Amino acid sequence: MYEQNKVFFKEDQIFLDMSFNNKFIFFKEIGEKLYKKGIVNENFATGLIEREKLYPTALPMEPDAIAVPHCDPKFVKESTISIIRFKNKLSFFEMGTTDKKLMVRFAFVLTMQSVQQISILQDLINLFNDQAFMNIMRNTQNTNEIYKYIKNM
């Protein structure tokens, strides 16, 4: 992972075993959490929902699909990446489709102030293919273990 992208990860933005009825409720709740931290503005959740409807963000990783929701930088005050492990998988559409559903176990929510997303997406794909990291993601109950792994890459 590029050093400049490691700074976007914050331990207090790693959430384990969160439970939601659907992705739209998830977007509203994560938007509220990030708004309260001063990372995004009050319209961020709506921006996520609208963008997800037009451009789905789920990636068909094995064994667990991963979503990478993000939206227009105008909703963002601070560039970060939040990591969420869902208690129960959520239905998202696969990136590049509007009809192929994937059951997503993890979300990496990008809040980027500029068009940094391409290099970050490349780093995230590499991270998602790192089996040691994904085993930690699946099994740990300790957010610090996830955070330290990323910082020490």
CATH number of the domain to which 16 belongs: 3.40.930.10
**Domain housing 144:** 3-151
User: What pLDDT shows up at residue 132?
Assistant: 96
Judged against a pLDDT cut of 80, whether residue 2 lies above it is answered with no
Mean pLDDT score, 33-43: 97
User: What pLDDT shows up at residue 110?
Assistant: 95
Give the pLDDT band (50/70/90) at residue 43: very high
User: What pLDDT shows up at residue 120?
Assistant: 86
Number of independent structural domains in the chain: 1
What CA dihedral angle connects 103, 74, 25 and 121, to 10 degrees? 20
Judged against a pLDDT cut of 80, whether residue 22 lies above it is answered with yes
Give the pLDDT band (50/70/90) at residue 105: very high
Spatial strand order in the sheet of 58-59: 9-18, 80-93, 101-111, 65-67, 58-59
